[in-house]
Chains A and B, each alone.
Chain A
Protein backbone atom coordinates (compact mmCIF):
# COMPACT_ATOMS: atom_id res chain seq x y z
CA UNK A 1 0.00 0.00 0.00
CA UNK A 2 2.75 2.45 0.97
CA UNK A 3 4.74 1.78 -2.18
CA UNK A 4 1.65 2.06 -4.33
CA UNK A 5 0.67 5.50 -3.00
CA UNK A 6 4.28 6.70 -3.25
CA UNK A 7 4.59 5.54 -6.87
CA UNK A 8 1.20 7.08 -7.71
CA UNK A 9 2.41 10.46 -6.48
CA UNK A 10 5.94 10.13 -7.91
CA UNK A 11 5.62 8.19 -11.19
CA UNK A 12 9.38 8.19 -11.84
CA UNK A 13 9.95 6.04 -8.77
CA UNK A 14 9.86 2.32 -9.44
CA UNK A 15 10.87 -0.84 -7.63
CA UNK A 16 14.46 -0.74 -8.88
CA UNK A 17 15.34 2.89 -8.12
CA UNK A 18 14.19 3.52 -4.53
CA UNK A 19 13.51 1.85 -1.20
CA UNK A 20 11.50 2.78 1.88
CA UNK A 21 13.80 3.26 4.87
CA UNK A 22 11.52 4.29 7.75
CA UNK A 23 7.94 4.07 9.01
CA UNK A 24 5.58 6.95 8.15
CA UNK A 25 5.50 9.75 10.75
CA UNK A 26 4.24 13.31 11.10
CA UNK A 27 6.94 14.19 13.64
CA UNK A 28 9.43 15.62 11.13
CA UNK A 29 9.43 16.65 7.48
CA UNK A 30 11.89 16.62 4.60
CA UNK A 31 13.47 19.95 5.52
CA UNK A 32 14.18 18.72 9.05
CA UNK A 33 15.33 15.30 7.78
CA UNK A 34 17.79 16.88 5.35
CA UNK A 35 19.08 18.96 8.27
CA UNK A 36 19.51 15.83 10.41
CA UNK A 37 16.57 16.59 12.74
CA UNK A 38 13.95 13.88 13.42
CA UNK A 39 12.12 15.72 16.19
CA UNK A 40 10.63 18.78 14.51
CA UNK A 41 8.62 19.87 11.48
CA UNK A 42 10.53 22.74 9.85
CA UNK A 43 8.67 25.35 7.83
CA UNK A 44 8.68 29.19 7.75
CA UNK A 45 4.88 29.44 7.90
CA UNK A 46 3.43 32.89 8.58
CA UNK A 47 1.38 31.72 11.59
CA UNK A 48 4.50 30.62 13.50
CA UNK A 49 3.20 27.07 13.82
CA UNK A 50 6.40 25.23 12.93
CA UNK A 51 10.07 25.44 13.75
CA UNK A 52 12.30 27.67 11.68
CA UNK A 53 15.86 28.81 12.55
CA UNK A 54 15.63 32.30 14.00
CA UNK A 55 18.59 33.46 11.88
CA UNK A 56 16.68 32.77 8.62
CA UNK A 57 13.82 34.94 7.27
CA UNK A 58 10.42 33.41 7.94
CA UNK A 59 9.29 33.44 4.31
CA UNK A 60 8.83 30.55 1.89
CA UNK A 61 11.50 31.75 -0.53
CA UNK A 62 14.52 29.85 -1.80
CA UNK A 63 16.82 32.40 -0.15
CA UNK A 64 15.22 31.75 3.20
CA UNK A 65 15.80 28.01 2.85
CA UNK A 66 19.41 28.53 1.79
CA UNK A 67 19.88 30.75 4.83
CA UNK A 68 18.35 28.06 7.08
CA UNK A 69 20.90 25.48 5.86
CA UNK A 70 23.71 28.03 6.05
CA UNK A 71 23.05 28.13 9.81
CA UNK A 72 24.17 24.47 9.74
CA UNK A 73 27.41 25.32 7.88
CA UNK A 74 26.12 24.43 4.41
CA UNK A 75 27.15 26.61 1.47
CA UNK A 76 25.76 26.73 -2.06
CA UNK A 77 27.68 24.59 -4.56
CA UNK A 78 27.20 23.68 -8.21
CA UNK A 79 27.48 19.89 -8.41
CA UNK A 80 25.21 17.03 -7.37
CA UNK A 81 28.09 14.56 -7.74
CA UNK A 82 29.17 12.91 -4.51
CA UNK A 83 32.42 14.34 -3.08
CA UNK A 84 34.34 12.47 -0.44
CA UNK A 85 34.45 14.51 2.78
CA UNK A 86 31.28 16.47 2.07
CA UNK A 87 27.56 16.01 2.57
CA UNK A 88 25.08 17.67 0.26
CA UNK A 89 21.49 18.88 0.38
CA UNK A 90 19.26 19.60 -2.62
CA UNK A 91 16.35 22.06 -2.45
CA UNK A 92 13.39 21.60 -4.80
CA UNK A 93 11.06 24.44 -5.85
CA UNK A 94 7.69 24.58 -7.62
CA UNK A 95 6.88 26.46 -10.83
CA UNK A 96 6.60 29.71 -8.84
CA UNK A 97 10.04 29.25 -7.28
CA UNK A 98 8.66 28.37 -3.83
CA UNK A 99 10.50 25.61 -1.96
CA UNK A 100 8.68 22.29 -1.77
CA UNK A 101 11.19 19.68 -0.68
CA UNK A 102 14.76 18.91 0.37
CA UNK A 103 16.84 15.74 -0.02
CA UNK A 104 20.18 14.82 1.60
CA UNK A 105 22.98 12.89 -0.07
CA UNK A 106 24.24 9.72 1.58
CA UNK A 107 27.81 8.41 1.54
CA UNK A 108 26.65 5.89 -1.09
CA UNK A 109 25.97 8.80 -3.44
CA UNK A 110 22.22 8.05 -3.25
CA UNK A 111 19.77 10.54 -1.77
CA UNK A 112 17.42 10.30 1.20
CA UNK A 113 14.05 12.07 1.27
CA UNK A 114 11.22 12.27 3.78
CA UNK A 115 7.96 12.40 1.82
CA UNK A 116 5.67 14.73 3.77
CA UNK A 117 3.79 12.67 6.39
CA UNK A 118 4.90 9.47 4.70
CA UNK A 119 8.08 7.44 4.96
CA UNK A 120 11.75 8.24 4.35
CA UNK A 121 13.01 6.82 1.10
CA UNK A 122 16.41 6.30 -0.47
CA UNK A 123 16.48 7.15 -4.18
CA UNK A 124 19.22 6.80 -6.77
CA UNK A 125 18.91 10.23 -8.36
CA UNK A 126 17.37 13.60 -7.49
CA UNK A 127 15.23 13.63 -10.63
CA UNK A 128 13.21 10.58 -9.61
CA UNK A 129 10.94 12.76 -7.45
CA UNK A 130 10.66 15.83 -9.66
CA UNK A 131 7.24 16.61 -11.15
CA UNK A 132 3.88 17.98 -10.09
CA UNK A 133 4.38 17.47 -6.35
CA UNK A 134 7.91 18.78 -5.76
CA UNK A 135 8.74 20.66 -8.95
CA UNK A 136 12.45 20.59 -9.80
CA UNK A 137 15.84 20.91 -8.13
CA UNK A 138 16.87 24.55 -7.72
CA UNK A 139 19.93 24.55 -5.49
CA UNK A 140 22.60 22.24 -4.10
CA UNK A 141 24.44 22.99 -0.87
CA UNK A 142 27.34 21.19 0.77
CA UNK A 143 29.29 21.14 4.02
CA UNK A 144 32.29 19.20 5.23
CA UNK A 145 31.35 15.86 6.74
CA UNK A 146 31.74 15.92 10.48
CA UNK A 147 34.53 13.60 11.52
CA UNK A 148 33.81 11.37 14.51
CA UNK A 149 35.58 12.80 17.54
CA UNK A 150 38.48 10.68 18.80
CA UNK A 151 38.31 9.67 22.45
Chain B
Protein backbone atom coordinates (compact mmCIF):
# COMPACT_ATOMS: atom_id res chain seq x y z
CA UNK B 1 0.00 0.00 0.00
CA UNK B 2 2.80 2.40 0.77
CA UNK B 3 4.04 2.32 -2.79
CA UNK B 4 0.58 2.92 -4.22
CA UNK B 5 0.32 5.12 -7.27
CA UNK B 6 -2.96 6.88 -7.90
CA UNK B 7 -3.88 7.76 -11.45
CA UNK B 8 -6.41 10.41 -12.31
CA UNK B 9 -7.72 12.16 -15.38
CA UNK B 10 -9.27 15.56 -14.70
CA UNK B 11 -11.53 16.80 -17.48
CA UNK B 12 -12.19 20.55 -17.58
CA UNK B 13 -15.00 21.36 -19.97
CA UNK B 14 -17.97 23.64 -20.52
CA UNK B 15 -20.33 21.61 -22.58
CA UNK B 16 -21.42 18.44 -24.19
CA UNK B 17 -19.24 16.22 -26.27
CA UNK B 18 -20.38 16.00 -29.87
CA UNK B 19 -17.85 13.84 -31.63
CA UNK B 20 -16.62 10.28 -31.40
CA UNK B 21 -17.37 7.70 -28.80
CA UNK B 22 -19.35 8.38 -25.66
CA UNK B 23 -17.25 10.04 -22.96
CA UNK B 24 -19.11 7.97 -20.37
CA UNK B 25 -17.90 4.76 -22.04
CA UNK B 26 -14.40 6.23 -22.25
CA UNK B 27 -14.50 7.00 -18.52
CA UNK B 28 -15.64 3.44 -17.79
CA UNK B 29 -12.70 2.23 -19.85
CA UNK B 30 -10.32 4.39 -17.84
CA UNK B 31 -11.70 3.12 -14.57
CA UNK B 32 -11.26 -0.42 -15.82
CA UNK B 33 -7.55 0.32 -15.99
CA UNK B 34 -7.27 1.83 -12.56
CA UNK B 35 -7.60 5.45 -13.63
CA UNK B 36 -10.15 7.65 -11.89
CA UNK B 37 -11.90 10.27 -14.01
CA UNK B 38 -12.96 13.56 -12.38
CA UNK B 39 -14.86 16.26 -14.23
CA UNK B 40 -15.19 19.99 -13.64
CA UNK B 41 -17.72 21.97 -15.60
CA UNK B 42 -16.70 25.62 -15.93
CA UNK B 43 -19.53 27.96 -16.74
CA UNK B 44 -19.92 31.68 -17.23
CA UNK B 45 -23.56 32.05 -16.27
CA UNK B 46 -25.82 29.10 -16.69
CA UNK B 47 -25.05 28.11 -20.21
CA UNK B 48 -24.41 24.47 -19.48
CA UNK B 49 -27.94 23.18 -19.60
CA UNK B 50 -29.35 19.99 -18.26
CA UNK B 51 -27.77 17.82 -20.92
CA UNK B 52 -24.27 19.04 -20.20
CA UNK B 53 -24.80 18.68 -16.48
CA UNK B 54 -26.03 15.12 -16.86
CA UNK B 55 -23.09 14.22 -19.05
CA UNK B 56 -20.61 15.61 -16.52
CA UNK B 57 -22.19 13.62 -13.74
CA UNK B 58 -22.30 10.46 -15.80
CA UNK B 59 -18.66 10.70 -16.85
CA UNK B 60 -17.57 11.08 -13.21
CA UNK B 61 -19.80 8.24 -12.07
CA UNK B 62 -18.56 5.87 -14.75
CA UNK B 63 -14.99 6.97 -14.11
CA UNK B 64 -15.26 6.35 -10.37
CA UNK B 65 -14.52 9.99 -9.70
CA UNK B 66 -16.15 13.21 -8.57
CA UNK B 67 -17.58 16.18 -10.39
CA UNK B 68 -18.42 19.80 -9.76
CA UNK B 69 -19.78 22.71 -11.76
CA UNK B 70 -18.21 26.08 -10.95
CA UNK B 71 -17.55 29.61 -12.15
CA UNK B 72 -14.09 30.34 -13.58
CA UNK B 73 -12.95 32.13 -10.41
CA UNK B 74 -13.63 29.02 -8.33
CA UNK B 75 -11.73 26.75 -10.67
CA UNK B 76 -8.32 26.72 -9.00
CA UNK B 77 -9.65 25.78 -5.60
CA UNK B 78 -12.05 23.23 -7.03
CA UNK B 79 -9.26 21.42 -8.86
CA UNK B 80 -7.32 20.95 -5.62
CA UNK B 81 -10.38 19.95 -3.59
CA UNK B 82 -11.77 17.49 -6.11
CA UNK B 83 -8.42 15.82 -6.65
CA UNK B 84 -7.85 15.37 -2.95
CA UNK B 85 -11.32 14.03 -2.28
CA UNK B 86 -11.11 11.62 -5.18
CA UNK B 87 -7.76 10.36 -3.87
CA UNK B 88 -9.16 9.83 -0.41
CA UNK B 89 -12.06 7.96 -1.92
CA UNK B 90 -9.90 5.67 -3.99
CA UNK B 91 -7.71 4.80 -1.02
CA UNK B 92 -10.72 4.38 1.18
CA UNK B 93 -12.20 1.92 -1.28
CA UNK B 94 -9.00 -0.12 -1.32
CA UNK B 95 -8.77 -0.13 2.48
CA UNK B 96 -12.45 -0.98 2.67
CA UNK B 97 -11.94 -3.95 0.37
CA UNK B 98 -9.02 -5.23 2.42
CA UNK B 99 -10.97 -4.88 5.64
CA UNK B 100 -13.89 -6.71 4.10
CA UNK B 101 -11.70 -9.71 3.63
CA UNK B 102 -10.79 -9.68 7.30
CA UNK B 103 -14.08 -8.63 8.81
CA UNK B 104 -16.63 -10.14 6.47
CA UNK B 105 -19.24 -8.60 4.21
CA UNK B 106 -20.13 -5.39 5.94
CA UNK B 107 -16.46 -4.52 6.44
CA UNK B 108 -15.68 -1.16 7.92
CA UNK B 109 -19.30 -0.30 8.72
CA UNK B 110 -19.25 -2.97 11.43
CA UNK B 111 -16.37 -1.35 13.24
CA UNK B 112 -17.19 0.90 16.14
CA UNK B 113 -16.74 4.62 15.39
CA UNK B 114 -13.56 5.00 17.44
CA UNK B 115 -11.84 2.33 15.36
CA UNK B 116 -13.08 3.87 12.15
CA UNK B 117 -11.61 7.19 13.21
CA UNK B 118 -8.25 5.45 13.30
CA UNK B 119 -8.88 3.97 9.85
CA UNK B 120 -9.72 7.47 8.60
CA UNK B 121 -6.45 8.76 9.98
CA UNK B 122 -4.61 5.99 8.18
CA UNK B 123 -6.43 6.69 4.90
CA UNK B 124 -5.49 10.34 5.24
CA UNK B 125 -1.84 9.51 5.79
CA UNK B 126 -1.75 7.03 2.88
CA UNK B 127 -3.27 9.68 0.65
CA UNK B 128 -0.52 12.11 1.53
CA UNK B 129 2.30 9.64 1.03
CA UNK B 130 1.16 7.86 -2.14
CA UNK B 131 2.33 8.83 -5.60
CA UNK B 132 -0.14 10.73 -7.71
CA UNK B 133 -0.26 11.07 -11.49
CA UNK B 134 -2.82 13.44 -12.94
CA UNK B 135 -3.57 14.26 -16.56
CA UNK B 136 -5.50 17.51 -16.89
CA UNK B 137 -7.62 17.37 -19.99
CA UNK B 138 -8.73 20.84 -21.00
CA UNK B 139 -11.54 21.46 -23.44
CA UNK B 140 -10.36 24.20 -25.82
CA UNK B 141 -13.31 24.35 -28.15
CA UNK B 142 -14.44 27.88 -29.10
CA UNK B 143 -16.74 28.53 -26.14
CA UNK B 144 -13.93 27.90 -23.64
CA UNK B 145 -11.87 30.84 -24.89
CA UNK B 146 -12.94 33.40 -22.27
CA UNK B 147 -12.27 30.89 -19.49
CA UNK B 148 -8.79 29.88 -20.50
CA UNK B 149 -6.98 32.44 -18.37
CA UNK B 150 -8.71 30.97 -15.34
CA UNK B 151 -7.70 27.51 -16.53
CA UNK B 152 -4.10 28.63 -16.91
CA UNK B 153 -4.08 29.99 -13.40
CA UNK B 154 -5.65 26.78 -12.10
CA UNK B 155 -2.92 24.72 -13.76
CA UNK B 156 -0.20 26.71 -12.05
CA UNK B 157 -2.03 26.67 -8.77
CA UNK B 158 -2.57 22.94 -8.98
CA UNK B 159 1.11 22.36 -9.52
CA UNK B 160 1.81 24.23 -6.26
CA UNK B 161 -0.62 21.98 -4.43
CA UNK B 162 0.97 18.88 -5.90
CA UNK B 163 4.40 20.14 -5.06
CA UNK B 164 3.38 20.62 -1.43
CA UNK B 165 2.51 16.93 -1.01
CA UNK B 166 4.91 14.50 0.65
CA UNK B 167 4.26 11.81 -1.96
CA UNK B 168 5.67 11.97 -5.45
CA UNK B 169 3.35 13.87 -7.77
CA UNK B 170 3.35 14.35 -11.50
CA UNK B 171 0.98 16.16 -13.79
CA UNK B 172 0.52 16.53 -17.52
CA UNK B 173 -1.73 18.96 -19.33
CA UNK B 174 -3.50 18.19 -22.60
CA UNK B 175 -5.96 20.17 -24.66
CA UNK B 176 -8.68 18.81 -26.88
CA UNK B 177 -9.52 18.87 -29.73
CA UNK B 178 -5.91 18.66 -30.93
CA UNK B 179 -4.61 19.77 -34.28
CA UNK B 180 -4.17 16.36 -35.80
CA UNK B 181 -5.15 14.01 -33.03
CA UNK B 182 -8.00 14.21 -30.59
CA UNK B 183 -5.72 15.87 -28.09
CA UNK B 184 -2.45 17.80 -27.96
CA UNK B 185 -0.04 17.38 -25.08
CA UNK B 186 0.61 20.93 -23.84
CA UNK B 187 2.73 20.16 -20.81
CA UNK B 188 4.31 16.69 -20.72
CA UNK B 189 4.64 14.84 -17.40
CA UNK B 190 6.30 17.14 -14.94
CA UNK B 191 6.77 17.42 -11.20
CA UNK B 192 6.33 21.16 -11.15
CA UNK B 193 4.88 23.66 -13.55
CA UNK B 194 7.16 26.64 -13.06
CA UNK B 195 4.83 29.26 -14.40
CA UNK B 196 1.44 29.63 -15.94
CA UNK B 197 1.99 28.19 -19.37
CA UNK B 198 0.36 29.86 -22.29
CA UNK B 199 -2.01 27.27 -23.48
CA UNK B 200 -4.07 29.92 -25.21
CA UNK B 201 -1.66 30.31 -28.13
CA UNK B 202 -2.49 28.59 -31.41
CA UNK B 203 -5.43 26.63 -30.22
CA UNK B 204 -7.56 24.63 -32.53
CA UNK B 205 -10.76 26.57 -32.11
CA UNK B 206 -13.48 24.49 -33.58
CA UNK B 207 -17.02 23.46 -32.93
CA UNK B 208 -16.18 19.89 -32.14
CA UNK B 209 -15.76 18.58 -28.62
CA UNK B 210 -14.46 15.01 -28.79
CA UNK B 211 -14.46 14.40 -25.02
CA UNK B 212 -14.72 10.61 -25.32
CA UNK B 213 -11.84 10.06 -27.75
CA UNK B 214 -9.72 12.56 -25.79
CA UNK B 215 -10.19 10.55 -22.60
CA UNK B 216 -9.17 7.40 -24.44
CA UNK B 217 -6.02 9.09 -25.69
CA UNK B 218 -5.25 10.44 -22.24
CA UNK B 219 -5.33 6.89 -20.88
CA UNK B 220 -2.40 6.16 -23.15
CA UNK B 221 -0.32 8.80 -21.34
CA UNK B 222 -0.16 6.64 -18.25
CA UNK B 223 2.70 4.23 -18.50
CA UNK B 224 0.45 1.28 -18.68
CA UNK B 225 1.34 0.15 -22.12
CA UNK B 226 -1.34 -0.43 -24.68
CA UNK B 227 -5.02 -0.98 -24.16
CA UNK B 228 -5.95 -4.62 -23.87
CA UNK B 229 -6.85 -5.95 -27.30
CA UNK B 230 -10.46 -6.74 -26.45
CA UNK B 231 -11.11 -3.32 -24.95
CA UNK B 232 -9.44 -1.40 -27.71
CA UNK B 233 -11.59 -3.22 -30.27
CA UNK B 234 -14.72 -2.56 -28.33
CA UNK B 235 -14.13 1.10 -27.61
CA UNK B 236 -11.77 2.60 -30.08
CA UNK B 237 -13.90 2.26 -33.21
CA UNK B 238 -12.14 2.92 -36.46
CA UNK B 239 -8.98 4.42 -35.01
CA UNK B 240 -5.93 2.24 -34.78
CA UNK B 241 -4.67 2.30 -31.23
CA UNK B 242 -1.13 1.25 -31.95
CA UNK B 243 -0.73 4.27 -34.09
CA UNK B 244 -2.17 6.60 -31.46
CA UNK B 245 -0.04 5.25 -28.69
CA UNK B 246 3.09 5.62 -30.76
CA UNK B 247 2.61 9.22 -31.67
CA UNK B 248 1.60 10.20 -28.17
CA UNK B 249 4.74 8.72 -26.74
CA UNK B 250 6.68 10.87 -29.13
CA UNK B 251 4.96 13.94 -27.79
CA UNK B 252 5.63 13.07 -24.23
CA UNK B 253 9.12 11.79 -24.01
State yes or no: do A and B come from one complex: no
- Tell me the B residues contacting A by CB distance below 8 Å: none
Question: Which residues of A are in contact with B by a Cβ distance under 8 Å?
Answer: none
